[in-house]
Amino acid sequence: MRETASPPAAGGQAVLAPTGSSLDLGLVGNGSTCALIDGRARVVWWCYPHFDGDPVCCDLLQGGADPGYGYLSVELEGATRHTQHYEKNTAILVTTMADEQGHAIEVIDFAPRLELHGRLYLPAMLVRIVRRVSGGPRVRVHSRPATDWGKAAALPRAGSNHVSFVADDSKSSAAGTKLRLTSDGPISALMAETFHTLGEPLVLIYGQDETVQGSPSEIAHRFLEGTRNWWRRWVRGLAIPFDYQDVVIRSAITLKLTAYEGTGAIIAAVTTSIPEAPGSQRNWDYRYCWLRDAYFVVSALNSLGATNTMEGFLGYIVDVIADARGQRLQPVYGLHREAQLHEDVCPHLAGYRGIGPVRKGNLAWIQRQHDVNGAAVLAAAHAFFDERLLAAPDARVFEELERLGEVAVADFDQPDAGIWELRGNQRVHTFSALMCWAAADRLARIAQRRELPARERFWREHAQRMHARIYEEAWNAGLDSFASTFGGDQLDASLMLMGELQFLPGTDPRWRATVHTCERQLRRGDFLLRYDEEDDFGRPEAAFIVCTLWWVLALAHIGETGKAREAFERVLSIRNPLGMLSEDVLPATDELWGNFPQTYSMVGLIQCAMRLSRPWSAAC
């Protein structure tokens, strides 16, 4: 049930706020830290200080219970209406609250991202500005951070114009977690959590436990203006399509918010352990960087013209490749290229809607997934062709990629866990073989670019041999489709990427038949499952959103653009009110599930919008 929205506020469109636990959340961040905020201005998820840190705000995973901590909130006494929007072309979130007597406030949330003293300033900081809109509103602030993955509340200690929050050593092992609230408001009221009449704007600055130099109000408003200007300049520099402009802009901003500026890593999602479906046990930690995503992320960034972000991500990938010299590439790495991501269950968090377990870390790092070598080569190959990049790759980088190519050739027809990271099922997966082929194919192209005819010939021969084997051994005439495994009789949605990877042209009869067969067998309602067979956790019931977007790309590739647009519009209809997607959707209800916001899904929106839009020259 939702309330009626008030008229749009200046600078953006007002949307309805959720009244229950859902993924109707807004994301704010700055490339150093990020937080999720619900429609009532409650910060329900904030890993601090960085994306992979201890969640000082963990209310999203407390199962609806209220232990009295794990969130930051601002309340209007007697509020009956809540609306929310982003300031146009920014990551600045505005929540408006009103009561029946005409009292209203707005809460402006952002993480500072601005030029300061000649450099980009990206503190691990969340700024909240509470403003009176009308009447004589009375407000109350709750600042109740958690420590040690929800085990205990942080203890508040009041200062002259701040409150420090530290771990309770008697209850928590996370003594290093410290947070400070600096404010120009009455500290006694903030500590007592009592309602008080709001006159002048109330500034709340949450960040490191150190002194904020200057007036909190002056600093917050200077940061707000600088952050607003930074985001709008960045958006103005994007290459966007004529159609779906709002979709691409919000997706691009969201993608930028998941890019960790410290290393260039781009994480799969901001959250951990949002289940793929109710009771599925498919609860995983996505706050890391999957190499599989790399090619698609780089392609999206390139199409947007977001060169700096792309260059940072390519640098991260090249460093990961160099780190792994003499060892196999892993499917996933940490923000700072950590190789070991040990997986643990967090017993003090009940889970999203009470559905556990809540995990930190991800055992995918120990799996053998042969597609990762191709993903790394595909992504890094871009740097050899893009003249905009200042740091052109040298012979050493090509040698590192050739090393990955050699592994890809050896692994091409060997069993692995596959793209879907099956924990108990090793087979020769067609998608893994495709990515191994792609590694050889792109290495041949790089060698040609570098005028190395012997190496070009070497890799071209491998690519041709691998292509022929995939074309024959993955084909199942009975299905009239390529199968998900060599000699298999099952399908999976990664087959929809054959065109995108340039394995087959849109006119190839087997490719066209595969698109139609996958559609018939994997489609549930308007969305596509990843696969329709038993796995380690039973038979999947939720549709993986990016699979439907791959279907859209495949339809466009074989010339069925009208059908592709219809399918794309359907995906757009399930975005949350602020324009974001999670990992999964339940086809029967359109309800979003899975970690949020999902980078793969947002990248898919960008790719499809770019592919389906009319050209500017034909539209204007």
pLDDT in tens, 528-564: 999 888 777 778 889 999 999 999 999 999 999 999 9
At 424 the pLDDT is 60
Q: Within 13 Å of residue 10, how many CA atoms lie on the same side as its CB?
A: 1
At 20 the pLDDT is 45
Q: What distance, in Å, lies between the first and last C-alpha atoms of the chain? A: 41
Strand partners, 485: 429
598 SS3 class = strand
195/4: higher pLDDT: 195
At 18 the pLDDT is 39
391/441: higher pLDDT: 441
Q: How far apart are CA 411 and CA 423, in angstroms?
A: 18
The DSSP letter of residue 160 is: S
Rg (CA), the chain: 25
Residues 25, 57 contacting (CB under 8 angstroms): no
Instruction: Determine if the peptide bond prior to 577 is cis (ω within 30°).
Output: no
**Considering the chain, what is the average pLDDT of its residues?**
92
Which of 47-56, 215-224, 422-431, 510-519 is predicted least confidently?
422-431
* pLDDT band, very low/low/confident/very high, at 21 (cuts 50, 70, 90): low
At 170 the pLDDT is 61
Q: How far apart are CA 171 and CA 185, in angstroms?
A: 30
- What backbone torsions phi and psi does residue 138 show, to the nearest 5 degrees? -110, 130
Residues 543, 518 contacting (CB under 8 angstroms): no
Which of 95-104, 292-301, 351-360, 414-423 is predicted least confidently?
414-423
CA-based nearest residue to 124, from 180, 220, 186, 48: 48
Share of the chain above pLDDT 70, in %: 95
At 2 the pLDDT is 29
At 577 the pLDDT is 97
At 66 the pLDDT is 83
The DSSP letter of residue 327 is: S
At 536 the pLDDT is 74
* pLDDT band, very low/low/confident/very high, at 568 (cuts 50, 70, 90): very high
* pLDDT band, very low/low/confident/very high, at 426 (cuts 50, 70, 90): confident
Q: Please determine, for residue 19, whether its predicted confidence score (pLDDT) is greater than 50.
A: no
CATH of domain 245-619: 1.50.10.10
Per the listing, tokens 């600088």 go with 226
Two tokens, residue 516 = 């139609």
* pLDDT band, very low/low/confident/very high, at 276 (cuts 50, 70, 90): very high
- What backbone torsions phi and psi does residue 37 show, to the nearest 5 degrees? -130, 130
From residue 570, give the alpha-carbon distance in Å to each of 251, 545, 590: 16, 11, 10
At 210 the pLDDT is 84
Strand partners, 107: 95, 130
Q: Where are the domains of the chain?
A: 15-236, 245-619
Q: How far apart are CA 266 and CA 288, in angstroms?
A: 8
Per the listing, tokens 């590192």 go with 400
CA-based nearest residue to 574, from 597, 554, 551: 597
Sign (positive/negative) of CA torsion 90, 93, 99, 102?
negative
At 327 the pLDDT is 87
Q: How far apart are CA 407 and CA 401, in angstroms?
A: 10
Strands 332-333 and 527-528: unpaired
Q: How far apart are CA 136 and CA 271, in angstroms?
A: 37
Q: Once rounded to an integer, what is the mean pLDDT over residues 575-583?
A: 98
At 174 the pLDDT is 54
Residues in the chain: 620
At 15 the pLDDT is 44
* pLDDT band, very low/low/confident/very high, at 160 (cuts 50, 70, 90): confident
Q: How far apart are CA 59 and CA 308, in angstroms?
A: 34
Q: Once rounded to an integer, what is the mean pLDDT over residues 24-32?
A: 98
Q: Please determine, for residue 463, whether its predicted confidence score (pLDDT) is greater than 80.
A: yes
At 204 the pLDDT is 97
Which of 251-265, 303-317, 388-402, 501-515 is predicted least confidently?
388-402
Element (H, E) at 26: strand 26-29
Share of the chain above pLDDT 90, in %: 83
Q: Please determine, for residue 12, whether its predicted confidence score (pLDDT) is greater than 60.
A: no
Q: Which amino acid is at 576?
A: N
Residues 109, 37 contacting (CB under 8 angstroms): yes
At 172 the pLDDT is 59
Q: Please determine, for residue 390, whether its predicted confidence score (pLDDT) is greater than 90.
A: no
pLDDT in tens, 107-145: 999 999 999 989 999 999 999 999 999 999 999 999 999
Q: How far apart are CA 237 and CA 230, in angstroms?
A: 11
* Dihedral over alpha carbons 484, 489, 492, 493 (to 10 degrees): 100
